[in-house]
Amino acid sequence: MDLNTLWFILVAVLFIGFFILEGFDYGVGMLLPFLGKDDRERRVIVNTIGPVWDGNEVWVLTAGGAIFAAFPNWYATLFSGFYLALFLMLFALIIRAVAFEFRSKDEHSAWRALWDWAIFVGSLIPALLWGVALGNLLRGVPIDAKMQYVGGFFNLLNPYALIGGLATLSMFLLHGVIFLNLKTEGELRARALAATKKIGPATTVLVFLFVIATPFMTDAFERLGYDPGVVPLAAGGALLAAGWLVRQERMGWAFVLTSLSIMLAVITVFMSLFPRVMVSSLNADWSLTIYNASSSSYTLTVMSIVALVFVPIVLGYQGWSYWVFRKRLSMDSELTY
């Protein structure tokens, strides 16, 4: 394995961590105005993710930094081509971050309702746009021989990418509502359980609709084969098994399996791309790959040494923070947000 392939894998790992961890707090944010019937319940919901949501976002910041340093041409083409979509996502994330901090600064009901809906919108937009982005990466976008994106914003809003957006949005909703089952008690937990049983079937339909559309809209099956192997099949199997566990009310294992399904789905996307990082819809030879989009061998070597030292430290710290805040929250809990 060369360093180019190693860093492609590391970028994939960073996105796996991001979608699993940030996925459930996107889901919690989208459910906030609907599951919380009064301010106290909504405060409980916010506090389930309050100590960890900003740490979860570090994964995508690290992934962006890794792409910038390891594959600068990928970074340049991606951010120029998806500029408006990424700006919209960044704006939503800023509003969301402000909402978490400002919500508890005033006890007036209108003030808190404003920021609750800001959390909802700031969670929904990225949850949708990440699926749109993945759909476009698989389908291909207009990239010319100079590695420049030559399409417009509306090229990204094609039916396949929008189905991908709905699939990720629903998957994060399911992941988040299962997380709420694990972090709350009493009536709020019962309400989350009822919501889980409604969201699960809708998520399964949307995810499998995206899968069914994939061979008609991309070359993924051509590259993986029509017997794509254990990884994609296991991703679908894990989602179905999670649904069965929800009906059995075994929510801990259901959360493990939604996490596994997300991990295997991301692996499938990167397997479908490899060795490409962005597919050109104009000419296959103009696609960006881990070789024509990468930094020098020296840069990749230095980055590998730095990652070997610091990544275990970051993982250890984040694991410790989840352990510290592992307990369930109730209406009687001391709340910060």
Do 132 and 157 touch, CB atoms closer than 8 A?
yes
User: Which pLDDT band holds residue 96 (cuts at 50, 70, 90)?
Assistant: very high
d(CA 26, CA 3): 33
Q: Which residues contact 86 (CB under 8 A, 6 or more apart)?
A: 79
- pLDDT tens by residue, 216-260: 888 766 665 555 678 888 998 999 999 999 998 899 999 999 999
Per-residue DSSP letters for 147-206? Answer: S-B---GGGG--HHHHHHHHHHHHHHHHHHHHHHHHHB-HHHHHHHHHHHHHHHHHHHHH
Instruction: Name the average pLDDT for the chain.
Output: 90
C-alpha separations of 10 from 300, 310, 311 in Å: 12, 14, 11
pLDDT top residue among 43 and 221? 43
Task: Answer yes or no: is pLDDT of 311 > 90.
Answer: no
Phi, psi of 243, deg, nearest 5: -60, -40
Helix (H, G, I), strand (E, B) or coil at 112: helix
Do 66 and 10 touch, CB atoms closer than 8 A?
yes
Looking at residue 17, its pLDDT comes to 93
Q: Which residues contact 127 (CB under 8 A, 6 or more apart)?
A: 23, 26, 27, 30, 168, 169, 172, 173
Architecture of domain 3-324: Up-down Bundle (1.20)
Provide the whole-model pTM: 0.92
Looking at residue 222, its pLDDT comes to 67
User: Which pLDDT band holds residue 104 (cuts at 50, 70, 90)?
Assistant: confident
Looking at residue 321, its pLDDT comes to 85
Looking at residue 91, its pLDDT comes to 93
Helix (H, G, I), strand (E, B) or coil at 244: helix
d(CA 281, CA 283): 6
Cα 138 to chain centroid distance, Å, stands at 16
Cα 3 to chain centroid distance, Å, stands at 25
Looking at residue 219, its pLDDT comes to 77
Looking at residue 216, its pLDDT comes to 83
Do 49 and 39 touch, CB atoms closer than 8 A?
no
d(CA 249, CA 231): 26
Average pLDDT value for residue range 278-296: 92
C-alpha separations of 41 from 183, 252, 333 in Å: 13, 22, 11
- pLDDT tens by residue, 155-168: 888 999 999 999 99
Looking at residue 225, its pLDDT comes to 56
